[in-house]
Amino acid sequence: MNQVKTGEPLLKVSKLVKQFPIRGGLLGREVDRVHAVDGVSFDLQPGETLGVVGESGCGKSTTGRCILRLIEPTSGEVWFEGKSVTAANKTELRALARDMQIIFQDPYASLNPRMTVGAIVGEALTIHKLTKTAQEYEDRIVHLLETVGLAADHMRRFPHEFSGGQRQRIGIARALAVAPKLIVCDEAVSALDVSIQAQVINLLEDLREQFSLSYVFIAHDLSVVEHISHRVAVMYLGRIVEIAPAKALYTDPKHPYTEALLSAVPIPDPSVKRQRIPLVGDVPSPIRPPPGCHFHTRCPIAKKGLCDVDKPELERTGEGHWVACHLRG
Ligand code: SF4
């Protein structure tokens, strides 16, 4: 994996918050709120892949969608190449949409079953007027399909004729059509078999190098993001609890939640034994997250009177390594 240059970030996310109102009663008044994202901040360098990991409901997908403003953040800011995404008007947002694309978990649900693959991949070319002639349009689609490992004659077929892995390749070709700089991969390989997952991850890795792409790679499993990520952020109940270069996070995790997640990742070498740290209980409701450290209800080393009262902030523990824990920070 190539090294990432540090400098002006491509993407900057600052104190991002997303709360979803819960409405009830006859008048549909707001009766409560789901605290989906609770003050998330990070930078992404050009050419970098940031893995974002956590159990379902931790706010990782909502974070990804807020970055692209597919859903409106409640507060906080997002900048892309120094331009504010959160303050962008409709026209500016349309221009930004060329640079920032998303690939979804379920490629079938996100591909219109009545459109041919050619029309799906070519739609953005038409919207953004990226080709001048019909021949150029067709050549571009063929090139995109071949780039993701599909064949030219696939353009006349429909999504239902393809396997899950091939459909995800169609989704990737569609995202690449506008030559983006950033792709948010939202659980992009989670629904695929392990061997197909590896193929799609390898493809994404090759494309990143070929087109100088950056990824925010969202997954619920630490083993999935290990080889593709330069850095990894671990989320729990709407907050980043640890963010570090991938190697440091996998070899020297600091946060008890990261330790527990990592202890569940199988090691290919049977001679290496890892002690399993079970996570007790369920993830608390994001409607009323626990006070203090959100993780204190499940943390094996929580300290009463501290962890259930004070919110730990991210603190630097090493080169690029930040942890939100009173006892490990
Ligand atoms: Fe556990 Fe306390 Fe650290 Fe939270 S702050 S992870 S409860 S030790």
Name residues whose C-beta falls within 8 Å of residue 191's C-beta, 6 or more positions apart in sequence. 105, 106, 164
Residue boundaries of the structural domains of the chain: 11-99+182-190+215-323
pLDDT band at 1 (very low <50, low <70, confident <90, very high): low
* Confidence grade of residue 3 (pLDDT, cut at 50, 70, 90): low
HSE-up of residue 121 (Cα within 13 Å, Cβ side): 33
Residue nearest to atom 6 of ligand 1 (CA): 325
The Cα–Cα gap between 183 and 86 comes to 17
User: What angle do the packed helices 117-127 and 134-147 form, to 10 degrees?
Assistant: 120
Tell the residue nearest (CA) to atom 3 of ligand 1: 325
What's the 280 CA to ligand 1 centre distance in angstroms?
A: 14
The mean pLDDT of 137-154, rounded to a whole number, is 96
Q: Are 78 and 66 in contact (CB under 8 A)?
A: yes
Q: DSSP assignment, residue 238?
A: T
Nearest ligand 1 atom, CA 256: 6
The secondary structure of 93-144 as a DSSP string is HHHHHHHEEEE-S-HHHHS-TTS-HHHHHHHHHHHTT--SSHHHHHHHHHHH
Burial zone of 164 (CB within 10 Å; 0-12 exposed, 13-18 middle, 19+ buried)? middle
Residue 313 has pLDDT above 80, yes or no: yes
| Beta carbons within 10 angstroms of residue 91's beta carbon | 8
Q: Is 298 in the pocket of ligand 1 (CB under 6 A)?
A: no
Q: Give the model confidence (pLDDT) of 156-214 as tens digits.
A: 999 999 999 999 999 999 999 999 999 999 998 888 888 899 999 999 999 999 999 99
Q: Is 253 in the pocket of ligand 1 (CB under 6 A)?
A: no
The answer to whether 128 and 98 have CB atoms below 8 angstroms apart is: yes
pLDDT at 120: 95
pLDDT of residue 32 exceeding 80: yes
Cβ-based neighbour number of residue 256 at 10 Å:
24
3-state secondary structure at position 249: helix
Report the chain's mean pLDDT, rounded to a whole number: 92
Q: Reply yes or no on domain 11-99+182-190+215-323 having CATH 3.40.50.1220.
A: no
Q: Ligand 1 centroid to 283 CA: how many Å?
A: 15
pLDDT exceeds 90 at position 279: no
- Residue 67 Cα, ligand 1 centroid: separation in angstroms? 28
Global confidence as pTM: 0.93
Residue with more model confidence, 30 or 266: 30
More confident position, 264 or 58: 58
pLDDT tier for residue 270 given thresholds of 50, 70 and 90:
low
Q: Tell me the one-letter amino acid at 175.
A: A
Best of 277, 279, 280, 296 for a ligand 1 pocket test (most atoms within 8 Å of beta carbon): 296
Exposed/middle/buried for 48, CB within 10 Å: 0-12, 13-18, 19+? buried
Q: Is the pLDDT of residue 8 over 90?
A: no
Q: How far, in Å, from the CA of 243 to the mean position of ligand 1?
A: 15
- Which residue type does 241 have? V
Closest to 235 (Cα-Cα) out of 21, 61, 11, 59: 59
Angle (nearest 5°) at CA 36 between 33 and 40? 130
* Pick from 74, 114, 59, 253: nearest CA to 243: 253
**What residues pair up with 231 in beta bridges, in sequence order?**
50, 245
Reported as a single tens digit per residue, the pLDDT across 37-65 is 999 999 999 999 999 999 988 999 999 99
pLDDT at 5: 64
Tell me the C-alpha distance between 227 and 265, whole Å: 13
Backbone CA torsion sign across 111, 156, 164, 197: negative
Please choose, from the candidates 324, 322, 319, the residue with its C-alpha nearest in 3D space to the C-alpha of residue 292.
324
Task: Give the rounded percent of residues in the chain with a pLDDT score beyond 90.
Answer: 78
Structure tokens belonging to residue 319: 């080169």
Q: Is the pLDDT of residue 128 over 90?
A: no
Q: How far is CA 107 from the centre of its chain?
A: 15
pLDDT digits 0-9 by tens, 82-94:
999 999 999 999 8
Per the DSSP assignment, residues forming a β-bridge with 202 are none
pLDDT in tens, 95-115: 898 999 999 987 778 889 999
- The 10s digit of each residue's pLDDT in 297-307 is 999 999 999 99
pLDDT of residue 160: 93
Separation CA 140–CA 122 (nearest Å)? 8
DSSP state of 220: S
Helix/strand/coil for 79: strand
Between 54 and 329, the higher pLDDT residue: 54
The pair of three-digit structure tokens given for residue 180, joined into one six-digit string: 């983006």
Closest residue by Cα to atom 7, ligand 1, is 296
CA distance 218 to 187: 5
The answer on pLDDT for 278 being more than 80 is: no
